[in-house]
Amino acid sequence: MGIFIKELPRVSLCNLPTPLQEAPRLSARLGGTQVSIKRDDLTGLAMGGNKSRKLEFIMADAKGIGADVVITAGTPQSNEAFQTLAAASKLGMDTILFIFKMRKDTHNEIQSSFLYHLLAAKIRLTDLVYDDLPILSKKMQDLADVLRARGHRPYVLHPAWRVPLGIVGYVCLAGEICNQLRERGLAAQYLFLASASGQTQAGLTLGAKYFGAPFKVIGITPTHMQSREEMVRKVADLANETARFLEMSFTFEPDEIVIHDEYASEKRSPTRGSIEAIKLVAQTEGIFLDPIYTGKAMAALVDQTQRGKIKSSDAVIFYHTGGLPAIFEYGEALLQGL
């Protein structure tokens, strides 16, 4: 790992390295393609998930300024919000959480997100949606100004924060996977992951090049909130921004970024493919995926093998980014199969 990365302040929030677990029964169902699952659902913070990796760097920054309260935002079932609140609790900081909606036609209430209450977050419901994030960010900043005037030291984590400091966590992840492959004498041609904000894919793409990974990073978008062209540009830009931050001499063009959007849904909802993928992995490997992100990434992997795009002689890493709390919101759809 580069010296500069090692010098960055970091707090310990995860149980690392997470397992790279072979999935023999799933592999057999996919015609022999060797599938291994990178289990970041087992990071250990809250209910696990990949966001803990970037929080190790982000929360170190918060700790560095002596923050006593973290202001953040998320949807009623945001795994990132769960982990942020858990990280703040672990570090002795209070939390204020703004809840926004994914769509205007939904009623904003926390329902099954009782985990927010268990983490003692001060919750502020809003009628804002994802497109209103600039307005929400201003509300968060205004609150921070009020808290500062009262003698507090707030740290604001905007809902769309895509800073290189956090993406460094996924650069490190690529190195971790490469080490695990070398220890086992294995190679993998592909790494599949759900790619929504583009941060994880950007860090993995940069890290794969830096550490000489044998695999190609394949991103699967979960919704059609952005076009494929917008997503590949975003991932390339984030990878380039992070490379500059880390003083690496790598650059990426959009045509180097691989993203599939044909497995996405129009709204933040499960698809028939994601539900079938969840059942398949649960019934072959005893591992749960979520209906919105990892379920769709696995649906893509299943489809790509069935259509011969991935060969039976190939080895694939499936990156399990977590998101378990969301599965309870869609229990009826899972049981009925849409």
Measure the CA angle with vertex 196, ends 92 and 110; round to 5°.
Answer: 55
Give the separation between CA 129 and CA 75, rounded to whole angstroms: 9
Q: Which two tokens stand for residue 75?
A: 């949807």
Cβ partners under 8 Å of residue 183, min gap 6:
none
Residue environment code for 18-56, b if the CB has 16+ CB neighbours within 10 A, otherwise e = bebebbeebbebbeebbbbbbbbbbbebbbbbbbbbbbb
Positions marked active-site: 78
Amino acid letter for position 206: L
- Partnered with residue 125 across adjacent β-strands are 99
Cβ atoms within 10 Å, residue 120: 11
The 3-state DSSP composition of the chain as helix, strand, coil percent (nearest 5) reads 45, 15, 35
Question: Counting beta carbons within 10 angstroms of the beta carbon of residue 232, is it exposed (0 to 12), middle (13 to 18) or buried (19 or more)?
Answer: buried
Give the separation between CA 44 and CA 48, rounded to whole angstroms: 5
Nearest by Cα to 286 from 24, 75, 89, 95: 24
Question: Counting beta carbons within 10 angstroms of the beta carbon of residue 194, is it exposed (0 to 12), middle (13 to 18) or buried (19 or more)?
Answer: buried
Nearest by Cα to 281 from 328, 332, 318: 318
